[in-house]
Amino acid sequence: MRPTRPSMQELIRQRRRAGFVGRSDERAAFRANFDLPPEDERHRFLFHVHGNAGVGKTFLVRELEQIARERGALTAYVDESAGSVPEAMAAISRQLSGQGARFKELDRLLAAHRERRHEAEAALAALDPEPDGPSAVTATAVRVGLAGLGLLPGAGPFVGAVDAGQLAQGADRLRAGLSARFRNQEDVQIVLSPERVLTPVLLNELAEAADTAPWLVLFLDTYERTGPFLDGWLHDLMATERYGTLPATTMVVTAGQRPFGTARWGGFADFMTELPLGPFTEAEARDLLAGEGVVDEPVVAEVLRLTAGLPVLVSTLARTRPGDPGGVGDPSADAVERFLKWERDPVRRSVALACALPRRLDADVFRVVVDCPDDQLDALYGWLRGLPFVDERGARAQYHDVVRTPMLRLQRSRSPRGWTERHGRLAETFARWRQEAEEGLEPAEFRQEERWRELRLAESYHFLCATPRAALPTALEDFVTSCGHGDDTARRWARLLTEAGEDTDADAVRAWGRDLSEALAEGGIAEALRLLLSRARTDEPWRARAHAARGEALSRDGDNERALQEYDHALDLDPGLVRALRAKAVTLSQVRGDHRSALGLYDRVVALEPDNPWNIILRGEFHRLLRHSEEALRDLSEGIRLDPTSAFARASRGATRERLGRLDAALADFDRALELKPDYAWALGRRARVWRGLGDHTRQLADLDHALTLWPDWGWGHCERGDALRVAGRDTEALAAYDQALAVDPDYASAHASRGASLLNLGRHEEALASLDRALELNPDYPWAREQREAVLEAS
């Protein structure tokens, strides 16, 4: 007997499968399901593959079908070639019969359904004929009758155009006409309600087929097209017993562009697995290219850039086997055609393309982009938001990247002038909206408003796309400004440069975005600004601000000495840059304790910005730190007059008054500061000193306890609390408070000295001497610690 040779189709299938790459997790999950019996809670009865056009859904479904067959399953595949539930059942019957199953009764009924349907259409068309052919009213009744009974493929828009009464009237006329024509009620039902007649028979014959194989697997592809008529039927089939029961060894795999609808299938979540697909990873794309012999790195890099990992495009270009980067054709037109293949209306197709230009859409942006009559805008916008590759992000819509990228590339290559004009118009629109958002705000407040930031980002993006060379300097200046508002804001601007560079294919813009993003990831704002400054021309107007922003970033990272160098660079370039003067003053005061130099710098700040209350308040604080009490009171009182809501100014003035012994006035200041800011730990700790001066030790401890719950790592607060406990004769508790202060700052001289005093009170002289020696080692000019040490020696 001659050995059976595989067919040509089988050989082709084997070769394609040998080259299949990627989707290993999805295949593994599906394969593992066959190892779990249906009774196992981990077994899944439904798998739903979903993702945008071109991500390889159909290819994966075919691979899953082959896996099922390897496990001995009977399989059937249905796609958009089936236009109704009966046609889907016919496809299932035909394919399972080809694998040895018997669907004799279902095939008989399907044949009867097709025959009776043709008769029904002819019968209805003949109802109430007019002498010169069917009237418009009769024709409408025919179509409405068919549509109302689900017998008119693609009738959805038509049904929406007639009212419910007309629909019901047409359906009633059809029923009456069919009952008069057909011999029995079964013939009427097989036309009027084919699912009711056919589905129980399908289930019976599926049960018989299940006896001959370990598994039955049904594959329903292009579900975005077949779902409108299959989804309700499939739900009834799997989640109810309306038509009977499915064999437990049945699995269903659906594949479409959208996730499964939770409204209908939400209760089925524990019995199904979602398999979302995105573009290939770089490794998967490289594997596919290598399998086709495309391994030259410049060629591979160009394919990766043009396809964004979209499997259908990677595969298309791989099969052309380009020998050099110039031979890699742009697949954008093919990709766009695939995304819009179901849409034939040229207006809608042009709208879908145009709306890819903005990064995000709302109704206002849509009206700027789309050129059509006003009465069509709402309907078109609703249609656009329903497209499978358009995601809802709150009140806005956003294209999926794998769809948007080729749409942008197609428009840029087809009409460079049109590309520039459309992006320029969008940039001007966003600029106008940004200016409107600035009304009623001070310039310093602009970037605090999220709406303003979004508009500025959109404006810059479209200017970069329209005129990359001209817009780049302004975008880099905006990046410098963004660095003063934190890492997240800086990353948004770097990402914007990257996106604009990619979308408009501008190498300089793309390189800046990439390099700044990498610098931010490696070393934060300080490293990004170092990079920017190293490449900047000497006449860039933003260099001084960049140095100041870099100094602030270094200071936040604890590198205060280098921060001071950056402030000096900034002031060399712009001696009147208030931002650098202010930051240098604060750093000198806090890090070096050089309050006097800080005060000198703040004199310059106040001279440059005399109406800024914060400048006057901070100068008052430097006076307080230098014990210039009257000058401090003058500045702080003026700051409070200009800004009565400043809790900082109130608390600082309260501390100044407490030092001068003006306890009632100090208490009033602290009370007001805490009204303005109830969780102000520093004000609570300083008010505790007022209570101590007034002899109210209970309130003193209460304020300190409250302050330390708000600021547990406040060494000064723990030391103050220890002093309060020590004065109250509670030295053991005081020691615990001092130990907490020293845990925060081991070199806190005052805490060591006070700890020595409590140890003296407890008679632990040796330990007391050690603590006081440490205090004097840290601060040799500490009279109180020296007095306590002498007291220990006398008591020993």
636 falls within a domain = yes
Task: Give percent of the chain above pLDDT 90.
Answer: 60
In this prediction, residue 504 carries a pLDDT of 94
Residues 542 and 578 in one domain: yes
> 154 pLDDT exceeds 50?
no
Vertex 238: Cα angle to 237 and 242 (nearest 5) = 45
Domain boundary residue, one of 601, 635, 664: 664
- 443: number of Cβ within 10 Å: 7
What is the mean pLDDT of the segment spanning 438-467? 91
What CATH number has the domain bearing residue 300?
Answer: 1.10.10
> 192 pLDDT exceeds 60?
yes
348 falls within a domain = yes
In this prediction, residue 532 carries a pLDDT of 96
39-70 tens-digit pLDDT? 999 999 999 999 877 788 888 898 999 999 99
For 114, residues 6+ apart whose C-beta sits below 8 A from its C-beta are 86
In this prediction, residue 168 carries a pLDDT of 46
Residues 540 and 645 in one domain: yes
In this prediction, residue 127 carries a pLDDT of 45
Q: For residues 388 and 134, what is the distance between their CA atoms, to the nearest angstrom?
A: 40
Residues 399 and 529 in one domain: no
> 159 pLDDT exceeds 50?
no
Give the tokens for residue 242. 């309306």
Residues 487 and 586 in one domain: yes
Q: For residues 772 and 756, what is the distance between their CA atoms, to the nearest angstrom?
A: 5
**How many domains, the chain?**
5
Q: For residues 689 and 218, what is the distance between their CA atoms, to the nearest angstrom?
A: 80
> 4 pLDDT exceeds 70?
no
In this prediction, residue 326 carries a pLDDT of 67
Residues 363 and 239 in one domain: no
Q: Tell me the pLDDT band of 280, cut-offs 50, 70 and 90.
A: confident
> 145 pLDDT exceeds 70?
no
What CATH number has the domain bearing residue 723?
Answer: 1.25.40.10
761-792 tens-digit pLDDT? 999 999 999 999 999 999 999 999 999 999 99
Burial of residue 396, with CB atoms counted within 10 A of its CB: 0-12 exposed, 13-18 middle, 19 or more buried = middle
Q: Tell me the pLDDT band of 295, cut-offs 50, 70 and 90.
A: confident
What is the mean pLDDT of the segment spanning 297-319? 76
Residues 117 and 181 in one domain: yes
**355 or 133, greater pLDDT:** 355
681 falls within a domain = no
What is the mean pLDDT of the segment spanning 443-463? 90
Residues 303 and 389 in one domain: yes
What is the mean pLDDT of the segment spanning 151-177? 42
335-349, 483-497, 633-647: least confidently modelled range: 335-349
**183 or 695, greater pLDDT:** 695
550 falls within a domain = yes
Question: Token pair 């840029």 is at which residue?
Answer: 412
In this prediction, residue 166 carries a pLDDT of 42
**233 or 120, greater pLDDT:** 233
What CATH number has the domain bearing residue 265?
Answer: 3.40.50.300
Q: For residues 503 and 753, what is the distance between their CA atoms, to the nearest angstrom?
A: 66
701 falls within a domain = no
Q: Coil, strand or helix: which one is 309?
A: coil
Mean pLDDT, rounded, of the chain:
86
Alpha carbons within 13 A on the beta-carbon side of 497: 29
Q: Are 649 and 620 in contact (CB under 8 A)?
A: yes
Domain boundary residue, one of 626, 642, 664: 664
For 594, residues 6+ apart whose C-beta sits below 8 A from its C-beta are 588
657 falls within a domain = yes
Range of the domain at 85: 20-101+212-276
> 394 pLDDT exceeds 80?
no
Helices (H), 126-192: 136-148, 156-160, 164-181, 185-192
Residues 501 and 398 in one domain: no
**278 or 236, greater pLDDT:** 236
Give the tokens for residue 468. 């990359």
Provide the residue type at 681 as one letter.
A
657 - beta bridge partners? none
200 falls within a domain = no
In this prediction, residue 174 carries a pLDDT of 53
In this prediction, residue 53 carries a pLDDT of 72
Q: Tell me the pLDDT band of 260, cut-offs 50, 70 and 90.
A: confident
In this prediction, residue 312 carries a pLDDT of 66
> 225 pLDDT exceeds 80?
no
**477 or 315, greater pLDDT:** 477
Residues 400 and 519 in one domain: no
In this prediction, residue 163 carries a pLDDT of 43
What is the mean pLDDT of the segment spanning 558-569? 96
697 falls within a domain = no
Sign of the C-alpha dihedral computed for residues 149, 155, 156 and 157 taken in this order: negative
Domain boundary residue, one of 222, 254, 276: 276
Residues 390 and 413 in one domain: yes
**394 or 570, greater pLDDT:** 570
pTM over 0.85: no
Residues 500 and 613 in one domain: yes
Q: Coil, strand or helix: which one is 361?
A: strand
Of 258, 239, 242, nearest to 46 by C-alpha is 239
In this prediction, residue 52 carries a pLDDT of 77
Residues 572 and 456 in one domain: yes
